[in-house]
A and B are shown apart, each in its own frame.
Chain A
Amino acid sequence: MSSSVLTEEAIPASTVQHGAPGTRGSAGTRAVRYALLVAFVLLVLLPLYVLLVTSFKPSADISADTAWSLPHRLSVEGWGHAWQTLSPPLLRSLILAVSVAVISSVLGAMNGFVFARWTFPGAQVVFTLFLFGMFIPYQAVMIPLQAMFLQMQDTAPFVDGIVKLIIAHCIYGIPICSLIFRNYYATAVPREILEAAKVDGAGMLRVLRSVVLPISAPAFVVAMIWQFTSAWNDFLFALFLTTRNNGPVTYALNELAGGQNPDYSSIMAGVLIASLPTLLVYILLGRYFIGGLMSGSVK
């Protein structure tokens, strides 16, 4: 995908001229189209309905027969319990996701600029090797990674829990962030400006600071959202590298949901609480979120 998705609306509007004959179909096909679209909306929102309805039921009112009905009495008991269980890991997830978003995007900006505009011999090969790191199943590094972190912990005891996850996500996020910034700079920074700056005797850092950085905001937003979301939503690293006492919210949510006698109102409230931050990011900054999705497809 080209980087224009970062600066413009991620998905451009239709160019079909409204009202042009034959372009938007007859009233009949339009009605069918809307009916289908609405039906799919209902299907997609089905799990959300279950979450909301169940989370506001008092646990005593939960029974198989009324599973799909609206609550008779509203109760926030489930929300209270879920909040109590999840708030410490929520805070840890927040620290994790924010740190990862900031560090990864700085690394990504440095790499992306070089790969797009200040290449060195072999840069294309290095870039391709980076990209492969984006696709690997992390299972293939997990066993030695665990061992490596245990070793680190011997000399630096603070490398535990969330710190491990910050390190892991920052490093395994290097490929995608480098890609986002490289694609952005490849169109947003004209070569001519760079050449002019070089002729004026400006060094790389100077160019980076005074020419490139000031126009980098869109790519930063996309990369930060991407990394925030993937660090927040990650479970695999959390499961292998953290424990119930120092893990992020995905870990805690799985524990909350995993009991023998499931308390569905707290479980469903917990799902909503744990998803709220990424959903908010998506709702508020949706088009940048889509921009990140697009750049994930390499070209």
Chain B
Amino acid sequence: MRKAKTWLPGFLLVLPSMILVGLFVYWLIAKNVFTSLQRSTNFVTDKVVNPGGYHNYTQLLGSGDYQHALMNLLVLTVVFMVGTMVMGLLWAVLLEKGVGAEGVFRSVYLFPMAVSFIAAGVVWRWLLSPAQGDGAIGLNQLFIKLHLDGLQSSWWSSPSRFSMAAMAIPAIWQLSGYVMALFLAGFRGISEDQREAARIDGASEWKIYRHVLFPQLSPIALSALIILGHMSMKMFDLIYVIAGPNSYKAAVPTTMMWTQLFAQSNPQAAAVNATILLIIVAVVVVPYLVTTSRSERSR
């Protein structure tokens, strides 16, 4: 242990941030958990709304509305993650060997990242508007113009259980460029000698990707998956703008939390919902953070 005299100034420099993060992250999480365990009654009819304790959790987890929202979240997350990873990797593969005007392609693919979900959502609400045939606007109208009438869809408001897949389209549009940038940097970090060696051994281009390049990108792929996964769990703005906060069809836990808090004036249920969401995200993120932190210390 070094002498306190050496490290103390460093500690003091971080102290304000420690207090702020402690208060605004950890203390507020604790308060939210506390709210989620409270009993509440309707103040007009005196009927019990939330029985209190863990019953609040079993009540929400057992409700059909919440299970519907979780199902939607699952569909959204799977389609979003697969779509974004595939698109991002494809773009990176197309660009990685260096093509003319690479910078232009990269900038275009990445530009949606700079736009807010709200701004993107407003355009995509128009693009994904459900009307078909004569009154169709957005993509449906474009399909009619291209004589591809069969492709028309009511998108996220179609009766299918998997209609949330359509909500993933704008999200894929926004984030594929990010995944491309990560993979592109990864490809460029692999020395050319390795490809050269494989080529001399007679490996085909596909084999080089499959056995030499892709395995070395797996740490990047893992980071990307975790970032995308946690973004998907938290996705709110896009759905709020495209479907509206009170849409049952497109409900996910985050929009449902808004409805619970404001439309139903039920902060306890909203707090339960938010706590479960935090737990889901933590299950994904904490192991990642802990292993990253360990591997760093051992270096």
Contacts and interface: CB of A to CB of B under 8 A. Distances in A.
Interface of A: 1, 5, 10-18, 22-25, 30, 33-34, 36-37, 40-41, 44-47, 50-51, 64-65, 67-68, 107, 110-111, 113-115, 118-121, 123-124, 126-133, 135-145, 148, 168, 171-172, 174-175, 178, 203-205, 229, 232-236, 239, 250, 253-254, 257, 264, 267-268, 270-271, 274-275, 278-279, 281-283, 286, 289-290, 293-294, 296-299
5 contacts: A13-B188, A37-B105, A139-B254, A271-B119, A293-B182
A239 B83 CA distance: 29
Contacts of B257: 139
Contact of A135 (B9, B141, B184, B281): B281
B21 A254 contact: no
A235 B184 contact: no
A174 B223 contact: no
Shortest beta-carbon contacts, A-B, top 10:
A14-B98, A233-B116, A118-B10, A282-B114, A144-B31, A140-B278, A141-B28, A120-B7, A204-B9, A120-B11
Contact of A204 (B10, B106, B192, B281): B10
B17 interface: yes
A171 B188 contact: no
B241 interface: yes
Contacts of A148: 28
Contacts of A131: 289
Given A15-B191, A124-B296, A135-B285, A174 B111 contact: no
B122 interface: yes
Contacts of B94: 33, 36-37
A123 B2 CA distance: 13
Contact of B185 (A11, A30, A41, A120): A11
A110 B13 contact: yes
Contact of A18 (B98, B138, B236): B98
A267 B188 contact: no
Given A34-B99, A297-B227, A64 B116 contact: no
Contacts of B24: 141, 145, 168, 171-172
Contacts of B134: 64
Nearest to B178: A293
Given A36-B94, A45-B108, A64-B137, A10 B185 contact: yes
A67 B9 contact: no
B296 A229 contact: no
B75 interface: no
Residue of B14, B96, B99 with highest tally of chain A CB at under 10 A: B14
B151 interface: no
Contacts of B267: 143
